[in-house]
A and B are shown apart, each in its own frame.
Chain A
Amino acid sequence: MITLAGCAVELFDTGEGDPLLLLHSGQGFVPDQPYVGMLSRRRRVVAPSHPGFGKSELPDWLDTCDDIAHLYLELMDRRGLAKVDLVGCSIGGWIAAEMASKAPERFRKLVLVAPVGVKTGPADKLDIPDIFAMPQEKVSQLLFHDPAKAQVDLSKLSDEQLTIIARNREALALLAWEPWMHNPKLKHRLQRVACPVLFLRGESDGLVSADYVARYAALMPDARIETVARAGHAVQVEQPEAFAASVLGFLDA
C-alpha cells in the first residue's frame, strides 16, 4: 500500500527493467492474469488498484478519473519514476490519457487498450453503450469475443472476492456515471500528448467501437491503431499473447 493524498492505494510493483505503469480496467487488477506475467518478465510493472477498486480506499472527496490521474502523478513522484511507459485498459486508459494530457513530458510511450474517456460522437447517441441499463448477458456479449469466458461461478468465490467485485462495480459507477464514460474537457487537452501512442482494440469489442478509437486517436498528434483478432473489450484477458506481443513490440521499437 502507498498513501497518496491521504488515500491508501494498493500497489503491485514487480519485475525488473524499464518501468511500465499499468492501469487496470473496470474489472480491477488481477495480478495472476497471464498478461501481467508476460509484461513483468521483460519490464518492471507498477500497477495500482484505483481508489475504490480492489483494496484501495475510496476517499469521500474523490469522484473522477481526473482526480485519480493527479494521484498517480504523485505516485510517480514518490516512486522516483521520472519517465515511464504507460499502459491503460478501458477506464485505466481514460486515466492514462488524463495523466498524459497533464504531464506529457513524463511519458515515453503510451498504450491505450480499448480506452474510454472522450465524447466525440453526436449528442443523441451514447459513444459507449450503457452497460448499467442492460441485462448481464448482453453486457457479456459486448465485452467478450467468446461470451462463455464471462461466466463466473459466484458460489466459488469467498466473501473477500465478492466484496472486491462489489467495490469495483460501485467505483466504476461513481467514476463513469455522469457524464457517461467521459470527461468533456479531455478531448481539448489531448493535443499536448506528444509521445507515440498505440491504440489497441479487440475486433469484437462491442463497447469501444472502431469509429470511437479512430476519433480518439485523431485527437493526438502521433497515434496509431492496432486491432486484435478474436478479442473483445478486454484484449489483455482474451488474447494475452497477442496483447503482450503488440504492447512490447510497440514499446521496444
Chain B
Amino acid sequence: MKAWHFSETAYPYLPPADEFESIRVSLPNRNYDPQKGAALYDRYIREWQIAEEEGVEIMLNEHHQTATCVDPAAPLMLAALARVTSKARLLILGNPIANRRQPVRVAEEMALIDVLSHGRLEAGFVRGVPYEVLPANSNPVRMNERHWESLDLIVKAWTNHDGPFSHEGRFFNYRAVNIWPRPWQQPHPPVWVSTTSLSGSARVGAHGYVQAIFLTGYDGTRAAFEAYRRGWREAGRGRDVPIDRLAYAALVYVADNESKAYAGAEKLLWYLTANKVPLHFAAPPGYAGVAGSVAMMKAAANRLSGLDQHEHFGRPTTVESAKERGLMFAGTPDQVYAQIKKFYDHVGGFGHLLIMGQAGFLEHDDTVHGIRTFAREVYPRLKAEYPGTRLSGAFEGAAAPAE
C-alpha cells in the first residue's frame, strides 16, 4: 500500500460561520489576507516536504473560490513541488476537466510537470464537486460527457508522437494537436480518476485507470470498488484486479498516545464541519442527473437530510461517528493499523491511502507529528501486509460462479 499526504491548503482564519452564507463560491476575498496566505503556503509546502522525507508520497487537489482549498491552479503548486522535492510521487487529484475549456492545455501542463519532476507525476482527473460549476461558469448538464471526451483527448495528446492530429468532437475542437514537451513516463503518466457514481466507477475500471474515492465510508466504498472490479472484468482485463488500482481518501491522524490522537482528530473534523454551503451551490440543476434530482426531492419531501450539502459526508460531528462510518482513521499506531485493516477487509482491498492529514486549525507541529507517527509506526506494516500486486475483491472470487 502506498500512502499519500494530502493537504487542501485551507485558509482557516474566517469570521464566524453565521456571518457568511457560504464558505465556497460567494465568500468575499476581503476575508483573505495575502500575507497570512503566503505564510500558510510556506508551511503547507514544508509539510509536503516532510512527508517526502518520511517516505510518504505527495497529493494535492484543486478547488475554486473557496477558503477550504486555496489552490485554484493545482498544476502551479505541483510545478513548485516538483522543484522542492526529488523522490516522492506527485499526485494531482485532480484536474477538473469537465470545467476546463482547453484539454490540450491540460495535457501540456501535465507533460511539463512530468518532465520537470523527472517522471514523478501521477495525473488525476476529477469531474469536480457541484460548487465548482459556478466559478467555472461550467454547464452542470453533460459534465460526464465532457469529462470523458477531454480525458481521451488528453491521453491521445500524450501518446501521439508523429506530428499534429485533429480532433472534432462533441465538445472540443482542434485542428493541430502536437504537444511539447511530451511526458517523461511512457506510454504516459499513470491516470487516476475520482468518481462516486457506480456507473462512473465501472467505466474507470474498464479503462484500467486508478480509481480514487473520497470519504465514502464502509458501504459506499465497497459498492464503488465492486463496480470498478466489475467494469475491469467486463472489459476483458482479466479476473484479477490489483489493489494498486484503488484508492481511498480518509481523515487520518496518528499520535503516540490516545489523548493526543483524539485532539488531533477533533481538529481534522474541520474538513466536514466547516463546509458550510447552501443548497443552491451544492445542488446545481442537472449535476445529479434526473434520477438523482428525483431522489433529492423525495428526501426533501420526507424531511430527511438528503438535501444536506454533503450527504455522502453525512456531517458527522464527532470523532467517534466519523471513525464508525469509516471516514476517519485515528488513534495510536496499533489502533489506526487495526482500523485500516478492518476497512480494507470490508471493501475488498485497496492499494492507496490518501491521507487528509491537515485541516483547519491543526497546527504545523501537530500535523508533522501525525505524518511522522503514521510514517514510522503504521506505514511499514501496511507496506508489508498489502503490496500493490495483492488482489482486490477476494471475497468476490469466493462467491463468483466457476468460469
Contact = CB atoms under 8 A, between A and B. Distances in A.
Q: A and B: real partners?
A: yes
Interface residues of B, number: 26
Contact of A174 (B26, B142, B280): B142
A163 B302 contact: no
B139 A178 contact: yes
Nearest to B285: A173
A90 to B, nearest CB: 15
B286 A155 contact: no
Given A132-B285, A133-B134, A177-B139, A166 B301 contact: no
Interface string A124-147: 000000001111100000000000
A170 B281 CA distance: 15
B257 interface: no
A159 interface: yes
A163 B290 contact: yes
Interface of B: 25-26, 134, 137, 139-142, 145, 170, 278-281, 284-286, 289-290, 293-294, 297-298, 300-302
Interface residues of A, number: 26
Given A60-B145, A135-B279, A154 B300 contact: yes
A118 to B, nearest CB: 19
Contacts of B279: 135-136
For the complex of A and B, the 7 pairs showing the least CB-CB separation, nearest first, are A166-B293, A173-B285, A154-B301, A155-B301, A170-B286, A174-B141, A177-B139
A177 B300 contact: no
Contacts of B141: 170-171, 173-174, 177
A174 B286 contact: yes
Contact of B297 (A135, A165, A172, A173): A165
Choose among A134, A177, A178 the residue with the greatest number of B CB atoms under 10 Å from its CB.
Answer: A177
Given A133-B25, A170-B290, 12 more contacts: A133-B134, A133-B281, A154-B297, A162-B298, A166-B293, A166-B297, A167-B290, A170-B293, A173-B139, A174-B141, A174-B142, A177-B139
A102 interface: no
Contact of A169 (B278, B285, B298, B300): B285
A61 B281 CA distance: 27
Q: Which among A132, A155, A157, A166 has the greatest number of chain B C-beta atoms within 10 A?
A: A166
Contacts of A166: 290, 293-294, 297
A145 B140 CA distance: 30
Contact of B293 (A63, A134, A169): A169
A178 B133 CA distance: 11
A135 B140 contact: no
B285 A135 contact: no
A65 to B, nearest CB: 14
B137 to A, nearest CB: 6
A163 B296 CA distance: 11
Contact of B278 (A61, A135, A171): A135
B298 A173 contact: no
A63 B25 CA distance: 26
Contacts of B137: 177-178
A136 B297 contact: no
Contacts of B290: 163, 166-167, 170
14 contacts: A132-B284, A135-B279, A136-B279, A154-B298, A157-B297, A166-B293, A166-B297, A169-B286, A170-B141, A173-B140, A173-B285, A174-B286, A177-B137, A178-B137
A133 B297 contact: no
Interface string A68-107: 0000000000000000000000000000000000000000
A177 B99 CA distance: 13
A126 B313 CA distance: 34
A133 to B, nearest CB: 6
Contacts of A174: 139, 141-142, 286
Interface in A168-185: 169-174, 177-178
A174 B137 CA distance: 12
Contacts of B278: 135
A152 to B, nearest CB: 10
Contacts of A167: 290
A173 B293 contact: no
Contacts of B294: 159, 162-163, 166
Nearest to A155: B301
Contacts of B289: 170
Nearest to A177: B139
B170 A60 contact: yes
A170 B134 contact: no
A7 to B, nearest CB: 16
A178 B137 CA distance: 7
Nearest to B299: A154
A195 B25 CA distance: 44
Contacts of A171: 141
| Most chain B C-beta atoms within 10 Å of own C-beta, residue among A163, A165, A167, A170 | A170
A177 B134 CA distance: 10
A210 B280 CA distance: 27
Interface string A174-206: 100110000000000000000000000000000
